[in-house]
Each structure stands twice: as C-alpha cells, then as structure tokens.
Amino acid sequence: MNLDDANRLDAADPLRSLRELFTLPDGVTYLDGNSLGALPRATPERIQRAVEQEWGQGLIKSWNTAGWIDLPRRLGDRLAPWLGARPGEVLVADSTSVNLYKVLHAALQMQQGQRKVVVSERSNFPTDNYIAQSVVRAHGGELILAETPEDIPPLLDERCGVLMLTHVNYRTGRMHDMGLLTRWAHQAGALAVWDLAHSAGAVPIDLLGSAADFAIGCGYKYLNGGPGAPAFVWMHPRHEGQVWQPLTGWLGHAHPFDFDSEYLPAPGIQQYQCGTPALLSMTGLDTALDVYDAAQKLGGMKALRAKSLALTEAFIGAVEERVPGAVIATPRDAAQRGSQVSFALPRGTDGYAVMQALINRGVIGDFRAGHPELLRFGFAPLYNGFADVVRAVDAIADIVTTGSWNAPQFTSRAKVT
C-alpha cells in the first residue's frame, strides 16, 4: 500500500469526519494514543469556560449551579455503555492506581481471609503489580505472577482469591478473553479484577456479559481526556453492600453534607468516591466524551473496532514487508489483538534511539524500558487513518535500514521515556 492507496481508503472511511474533531499538529503522525490521546478541538474553550465562568464567576455556587457535585456520576453514566455496563454502575474518580487499590482491597475482603493470593502477569503494567504487592502485604497474602498467558490457568487454585489482569497488555497489545478468564476464576472460587486502561474507547468491552467483578481504567489514553484525566471504577451490582472499600473519604459517605462523625458508606458505586473530584480535569474528559457521542451516530464501537483492526492489520503487514529484522509481538489473530501493534527490532538495536529518531521525523509512537528492542504504536480509530500507517512505516524502514538512529542526539535519554 502506497500513500495514494491510503488516501483513497481514508476518503472512503465512514468515520473520517471524526478526525476533524481533534487538534493534530501539521506534519505529525501521532501513533501514541495508547499513552496519551490527542486534544479534542472543543476542550480548550470548554475548560476556559469552566475556569472563567463556573469558577471565576460562579465560585462555590457552581457545585450546584454548574452540577459539579454530580459530575463523577454523570461521567460514569456516559462511559457505561462503552464498557458494557449500565448507568449508575460506573464512577469517575481518582487515578487508576488509587482505584485499583480500592477494588483489590475490597475483593480480598470478600474472600474473608480464606484466599489471600492475587494472580497476575509479570508483563502487567507495573503500577498494577506494585499496588497488588501493597494490598497483599496488608492482607498477609502473596502476589503470584504468570510468565505467559498460558501459565495463568494452573495458578487459579484453592489459594487464589483474585485474578487481576489488564484486558489489553500494554507491551504486546495482546487482548485477553475477558469472559473466559473470568469464568475460570469463578470456577476456582476467585474474583476477577480487570484493568481497562488500554481498552476503554478502543475495543469492545462487556463487563456485565463477562460477569466480571471489578474494573478500573484511565481517562487519558484512547478516551482523550487529557494528561492526568481522572480514572473510572466499576463494581458488579451483585457485590453491593458486601464490603467497604478502604479509602472511606467524605464523598463516599451516604450523606456527605450532614458532616456526621461516623462513616456510613453510600450505596452502590458512589461508595468508591473518596475525596473532592478534580473538576477541571473532569471537564476535559466530559468534553472528550462528546466525540464518542459523534462516533455512536457513525456506527459506534462496531465501526471503531472494524477500523482499528484494519489499521493494525495494514501496519503489521507493512512492517513485516519493509522493516528488516522486525518481529511482530502483537497477535495476528484479531480476537486477541487490541488497538496497538508492538514489534521488536534485532538484538543490539536501541529501541529508545529508534523512537527518538522517529519522533524527530514527525512520527510519534513510544518505547518502554524492560524490552529495549520493543516499539509500540497505538492506533486510535477516532483520528488515525491509513495515511498514518504509510508515513510511519516509510520513516521506520528508512531509519532502521540506514542506521540513522545511532546518533548521539537520539541515544541520550530524557527523564520520561
């Protein structure tokens, strides 16, 4: 596929109008939406209005007049259909790490001290495993890490209390079968906790249909809520009232403005709110979800998923054809592939330096330490197209073939990699 072919495919794309809802720099091919989503055009004006009018003029009245107090639940209701959940079941609050601490603690509490092992993957996103280490330490338990996805089933034994997985692996882009693994966990007597940070807004999710127990995820990747956008948390309704989450802050109280001296948990997911919400960040996420309203009118998740698979398939094929020594780490099977492609370059190639050389050429993907030859490219079907695939592979092939990555300006590491 050349650029002319790509442009023809993009012109015929039924979702092409969504790209105009984003601000994307001229001359930049942005394939890092799996780390930080692009800026929706409407966001700056909306945040400015929140600052100047709601805060500047409305002051504290805006908790009521601008609906600030209801925003965490209202955003949760907007997200729910994209997660396979119902209104009233999702709350937007805090960070992914904080929400994971809440639900892991609650899940182990539900096991009443009988099962204290949390099973996950060694390749899980590090913060998830770090949080799990903290929680199992508090419960006198153990975190056991599978080396490969195939190693997970034997670990679901009589000691396992919680299976904690990221739906789409951040390194490889491999997507787990949520329904199957949740069923296996339940058959073993364990609960299933899912991290949707690399899934929400990009791949189909069915929390209720999968009978998952808890889920968390962030708002700044494919959901495009902006850097530091708040996260979300979901609990299956069947668990309501069984345990308290550990961070019993005032906005998780049943009657926060009664200012009682004793904590009384709010019903349902509201209990998982803790402190005062970050209203300006929530306003950014609220505006970003308008784009998903527009996408719903153009075919919704079915259309987004079809485009994502087409883009990633085209990218995989082009990399295999044109990039010497590239080894695809992402499954070719569409049922196992998220909305990103990762590939390794030959041993001895500095993946960080290759990525810096790409960024210098206007192609932005990302690199993650731990696998020094591995490069990641996220495809956001809201704004990426086939021309992005061609431009990216053209640049990758040239940089790898010529060895131009091996220059001092590309090998010197910045603080954030």
Q: Which residues are the active-site residues?
A: 125, 195, 220-221, 376
The verdict on whether residue 276 carries a ligand-binding annotation is: yes
The verdict on whether residue 417 carries a ligand-binding annotation is: no
Q: Are 194 and 212 in contact (CB under 8 A)?
A: yes
The verdict on whether residue 312 carries a ligand-binding annotation is: no
The verdict on whether residue 195 carries a ligand-binding annotation is: yes
The verdict on whether residue 128 carries a ligand-binding annotation is: yes
Please state at what angle helix 96-110 crosses helix 126-139, rounded to 10 degrees: 40
The verdict on whether residue 198 carries a ligand-binding annotation is: yes
The verdict on whether residue 95 carries a ligand-binding annotation is: no
The verdict on whether residue 194 carries a ligand-binding annotation is: no
Say how far apart CA 78 and CA 65 lie, in whole Å.
20
Binding site for pyridoxal 5'-phosphate: which residues?
A: 96-97, 125-128, 166, 195, 198, 220, 250, 276
Binding site: which residues?
A: 96-97, 125-128, 166, 195, 198, 220, 250, 276
